[in-house]
Chains A and B, each alone.
Chain A
Amino acid sequence: MHAFIQAVILGILTGGVYALMASGQTLIFGIMKVVNLAQGALVVLGAYLTYTLFTQLGIDPFLSILITTPLLFLVGVAVQWALLRPLHGDDVAQLSLLVTFAIALGIEGVLSFAYSATLTNVQPSYANFSWTVLGYQVSLVRFVAFVLSLVMLGALYFILQRTKFGRSVRATVQNPMSAQLLGVNANRVSALGFGLGAATAAAAGSVFGMLNSFNPGSHYDLISRLLTIVVLGGLGSIGGSVVAALVMGVASSVVSALASPIWSDFTFFIVLLLVLLIRPRGLFGARTRGAL
């Protein structure tokens, strides 16, 4: 029982970090119908930025989020403006797959050139610290990361629900044509939306860099996890991706600890398959557009 509860705690905390990454992914899909294969690479880019700020300037990895988030926001806006905006027509979804995959490979290439393929990680003094709560170990970094994810997700929710920009995003998601007719600047919404998605990757990247050793090729594993989370949660649903990330975190952790790590990812895919058989749109994918 002790091992089970410990595994559930770990799973929830890990799931929170994936929730942050996946929320950006699903936001971008919701607004633009773009499956962003570069989200994992953006997370790794965020991790390397944090690493550089920490090792070169001594900036705390959590504080560096204040720098990396706006930076990657700008990168996201620039990428959308330069590479995704020019795509037109019915095949935008397919073309964007290729474009975002190219972006991922480009980021990986630049990072390999700048940092080499050696594994690295961000190691502040408190990286391995944990609290003992009722006999269970709670890692400081994981806990702060979880809280941070909640804060970031809260901020995202606020932006989408309470601001004019958020309203135009939701309008675009529900019906792009009507939104444009009502004066919403679709290009602007898309660029800012992509920027927001990239910004969540920056925040997640800082945490990812403290929790894992990473190299420029780490994004392949990440993106496959993110895509399964987003599909399980229902494409375009931020709430869904949060729930799915927690389900994945807990399922992987419990199976890993109590059965075998070999089965941990497989278990998640079984859950994904079952959910898709019963609900082809994922847990929270709405039948009508506009699940945000």
Chain B
Amino acid sequence: MHLHIRRPGSRRARLLAAAATIAVGAVALAGCSSGSTVSSSSSPLKIGISLSLTGDFSDSGKAAQRGYDLWADVTNKAGGVLGRQVKLTIVDDASSPDQVVTNYTNLITQNKVDLVFGPYSSLLTVPASRVASRYHYAFIEPAGGGPSVFAQKLTNLFFVQPAPTTKGGDVFANYILSLPASQRPKTAGYAKLDDPFSAPIAESIQKRFEAAGIKTVYDQTYPAETADMTPIMSGMAAANPDVVIGGSQEADSFAQIKAMIQLKFNPKWLFESNGVNSPGDFPAAVGIANTEGAFSSADWYADSTIAGSTKFIADYTAKYGGTAQKIDPTSAEAYSAGLLLSQVAKKTGKIDNATIIKTLHTGTWPTLVGNLSWDQYGAPQGAYLLIQWINGKLTTVFPASTAQHAPVAPKPHWAG
């Protein structure tokens, strides 16, 4: 679950997009037909994807690319999909919502790809999924889970994560409310980043906590440009809540924690919606000894016990090198998009868009990010895993059915 806020800085991308739009218009005038015709069964299965290989989302875009490429490699080595070799066409959208529209239009009408997969971020998924819907393409997408994506009410869309992004913290509320009333926190403090993904995660937890009688003693929303969290966390420390909930992205969650350490404020429970779930960046930002006991949620991570994860890690490290801990969950999410396709083909013996849309709307589908099923508009119906840093490692602690360890509470004191 990695979502980033768009920062200003893609002027060049917009120029390129404008130029490309004109080019597409010209070609369209030349008289091209469109449609989602599927080629004969011996020809390669062409899948088109637009990814942010440059610009603001480039790190995550490249992570998605590695996941897609790996799935295609593994699938082709095993004989392809229904005997057809997978051929990915990946084009760069420079993190621009204008360019992504041009790219998917081109992929569908010019390159005549058989299928498409989604781009990175909700910002790009919204316009891209509209293009796919217009041409009746299935839109399996691993990285657009914001409210704006599902508000479109598209029936061709499937978000490949366990739940919509704003429900990322519900599993923590499930855990806390599963405790006997006497062991639950009495007071809670909330620090929320003012963006469409982060604050709603904390608000969703807050609603359930307040309904269960956990008193809100501190509640603050901060703008995205807040670099220094210390003043906010000093307010939090003064209120001294039992549980601190950070509705955060990566940088601000690290800043919150650094500020808490410096202020020597150690809550009994600490949940951060993002950042803390990053196996490499979090210990690098706050020091490994300070990670102990922090909660977050995740769909896939290096020590995930889900079926297929070990093979995925082995294949990934064989192809790209590095260690399991360095694998971005976005790669596993993109890989899972491919897994869904393979399963539909296996189940139905067909791999056209109408079949994919119809088939995925029924049943439950095992992937690296859990068993997925969707409502009619593509919102996944599951829950994330609750993970906690225990002995320097991210560990699943809730729900009990998948837990590797019981949750550790109260949180050990900061190492400083």
- A: which residues have CB within 8 A of B? 2-3, 6-7, 10-11, 14, 116-121, 123, 125, 127-130, 132, 137, 139, 211-213, 217, 220-221, 252-254, 256-258, 260-262, 264-265
Write the nearest CB–CB distance from B10 to chain A, whole angstroms. Answer: 11
Report the bound CA distance from A139 to B416 in whole Å: 11
* B226 & A132 in contact (Cβ 8 Å cutoff): no
Q: Please judge, given known A-B contacts A128-B258, A213-B251, A258-B235, whether A265 and B225 are in contact too, CB under 8 Å.
A: yes
B56 neighbours in A (Cβ, 8 Å): 117, 217
- Which of B38-46, B142-150, B282-290 sits within the interface? B282-290
**A261 contacts which of B9, B59, B231, B250 (Cβ < 8 Å)?**
B231
A118 to B285, CA, bound (A): 12
Q: Confirm or deny: B255 has a beta carbon within 8 angstroms of a beta carbon on chain A.
A: yes
CB neighbours (8 Å) of B232 from chain A are 256-257, 261
B377 at the interface (CB under 8 A from A): no
| Contact (Cβ within 8 A) B264 A3 | no
With A130-B264, A262-B222: A7-B227 Cβ-Cβ less than 8 Å: no
CB within 8 Å for A262 and B234 given contacts A117-B56, A220-B9: no
- Beyond A130-B263, A137-B264, A260-B220, whether A116 also contacts B59 by CB under 8 A is yes
- Choose one: B59, B235, B255, B284; the contact of A257 (CB below 8 Å): B235
B272-293 contact mask (Cβ, 8 Å, vs A): 1 or 0: 0000000001001111001000
Contacts of B287 in A (CB 8 A): 123, 125, 127-128
On whether the beta carbons of A119 and B258 are closer than 8 Å, the reply is no
Q: Which A residues are in CB contact (< 8 Å) with B262?
A: 128-130, 137, 139
How many angstroms from the CA of A132 to the CA of B287 in the assembled complex?
21
Question: Which residue in chain B gives the minimum CB-CB distance to A258?
Answer: B235
- Cβ contact within 8 Å between A121 and B254: yes
Using a CB-CB cutoff of 8 Å, which residues 1-57 of chain B contact chain A?
A: 7-9, 56
Contacts of B261 in A (CB 8 A): 128, 130
Q: How far is the CA of A28 from the CA of B167 in the complex (A)?
A: 50
Q: Does B180 contact A (CB under 8 A)?
A: no
Contact A212 B231 (CB under 8 A): no
21 pairs, CB–CB < 8 Å, chain A vs chain B: A2-B238, A3-B234, A7-B231, A10-B234, A14-B230, A117-B56, A121-B254, A128-B287, A129-B416, A132-B264, A137-B262, A220-B7, A221-B227, A253-B230, A256-B222, A257-B231, A257-B232, A257-B235, A258-B235, A262-B221, A265-B223
Check B228 against A212 for contact (C-beta < 8 Å).
yes
Contacts A2-B238, A128-B416, A262-B222 known; 11 new A-B pairs at CB < 8 A: A14-B228, A117-B56, A120-B284, A123-B285, A130-B262, A212-B228, A220-B9, A221-B227, A257-B232, A261-B220, A264-B226
Closest-by-CB residue of B relative to A139 is B262
How far in angstroms is the closest Cβ of chain B from A216? 10
Q: Which B residues are CB-close (under 8 A) to A7?
A: 231, 234
Specify which of B58, B194, B255, B285 is in contact with A262 (CB 8 Å cutoff).
B194
Contact B59 A118 (CB under 8 A): yes
Do B231 and A253 have beta carbons less than 8 Å apart? yes
CB-nearest residue of chain B to A220: B8
The smallest beta-carbon distance between B204 and chain A, in angstroms, is 21
Nearest-Cβ distance from residue B191 to partner chain A, whole angstroms:
9
Contact A211 B286 (CB under 8 A): no
Whether B223 and A261, one on each chain, are in contact in the complex, defined by CB atoms closer than 8 angstroms, is: yes
Q: Are A10's CB and B230's CB within 8 A?
A: yes
Tell me whether B238 and A123 are in contact (CB under 8 A): no
Q: How far is the CB of B78 from chain A (nearest CB, A)?
A: 32
CA distance A129 to B264 in the complex (A): 9
Task: Report the separation of the CA atoms of residues A127 and B238 in the bound assembly, to the nearest whole angstrom.
Answer: 22
Check A119–B250 contact: CB distance below 8 A.
Answer: yes
CB distance from A132 to the nearest CB of B (A): 7
Question: A116: which of B58, B228, B235 is its contact (CB, 8 Å)?
Answer: B58
Residue of B nearest to A137 (CB): B263
Min CB–CB distance A74 → chain B (angstroms): 28
| A213 pairs with B285, CB closer than 8 A | yes
The residue in chain A whose Cβ has the minimal distance to the Cβ of B223 is: A262
> How long is the Cα–Cα vector from A254 to B285 in the complex, in angstroms?
26
User: A6's closest neighbor in chain B, by CB?
Assistant: B234
A132 to B416 Cα, complex, angstroms? 13
**Do residues B194 and A121 form an inter-chain contact, with CB atoms below 8 A?**
no
Given A119-B251, A130-B264, A261-B220, the answer on whether A221 and B225 have CB atoms closer than 8 Å is yes
Among A117, A129, A137, A213, contact of B254 (Cβ-Cβ < 8 Å): A213
Enumerate chain A residues within 8 angstroms of B221, measured Cβ to Cβ: 260-262
Q: Which residues of B are found within 8 Å of A123, using beta-carbon distances?
A: 284-287
Does B227 lie within 8 Å of A121, measured CB to CB? no
Smallest Cβ distance from A222 to chain B, in angstroms?
A: 8
Q: Identify the closest chain B residue to A55 (Cβ).
A: B284
Q: Given the known A-B contacts A10-B230, A220-B7, A261-B226, are A119 and B416 also in contact in the complex, defined by CB atoms under 8 Å?
A: no
Contacts known (A3-B238, A10-B230, A257-B234); A217 close to B7, Cβ less than 8 A: yes
Q: State in angstroms the CA–CA spacing of A28 and B411 once bound together.
A: 49
A117 CA / B62 CA spacing, docked (Å): 12
Instruction: Enumerate chain B residues within 8 angstroms of A260, measured Cβ to Cβ.
Output: 220-221
B231 and A121: CB pair below 8 A?
no
Cα–Cα, bound, A119→B264 (Å): 25
A9 to B99, CA, bound (A): 47
Known: A128-B262, A130-B263. A3 touches B235 (CB 8 A): yes
Q: Is B220 touching A217 in the complex (CB atoms < 8 A)?
A: no
B residues 197-250 with Cβ under 8 Å of A?
220-223, 225-228, 230-232, 234-235, 238, 250
B258 cross-chain contacts in A, Cβ below 8 A: 127-128
User: Once the chains are docked, how many angstroms separate the CA of A47 from the CA of B114?
Assistant: 47
A212-B234 contact given A117-B59, A127-B287, A128-B290, CB 8 Å threshold:
no
Q: Which residues of B contact A128 (CB under 8 A)?
A: 258, 261-262, 286-287, 290, 414, 416
CB neighbours (8 Å) of B227 from chain A are: 212, 221
| Contact in complex: B231, A264 (CB < 8 Å) | yes
Contact in complex: B228, A211 (CB < 8 Å): yes
Instruction: Check A256–B231 contact: CB distance below 8 A.
Output: yes
CA distance A258 to B56 in the complex (A): 34
